[in-house]
Amino acid sequence: MSAREMFNAVGTAVGGLIGWPETPPPADPDTLRELFADLGVTIGDSDEELAEMVRAFQARVGLDVDGVAGPHTVHLLVRYANEVRERHLGMAA
């Protein structure tokens, strides 16, 4: 299974867990890069570079470090990205 297929499968499974009001964004590499960008982290096009950042994020938030953006990882990544966006919106108001 390719990284893209794995992230898409995870995205489908995570939809109900996160509780998005609409269809959740796919947990594909591009979406994960956007979420990390919201946290101020820029990741190149390499799947290995993305997996390394996922591992670093997992270690930082106390998850099992495996480099796979599974449901718990994606849930926390979305939550933290949303918090950063909300803070920025609050500062702009």
Give per-10-residue mean pLDDT for the chain (93 aa).
50 47 65 93 93 96 93 88 86 68
**pTM value > 0.85:** no
For Cα atoms 39, 27, 72, give the angle at the middle one, nearest 5 degrees: 75
CB atoms near residue 39 (< 10 Å): 14
Tell me, what's the pLDDT at 27? 78
Q: How far is CA 25 from CA 8, 28, 74, in A?
A: 10, 8, 11
* Encoded tokens for 23: 């269809």
Tell me, what's the pLDDT at 88? 79
Tell me, what's the pLDDT at 32? 93
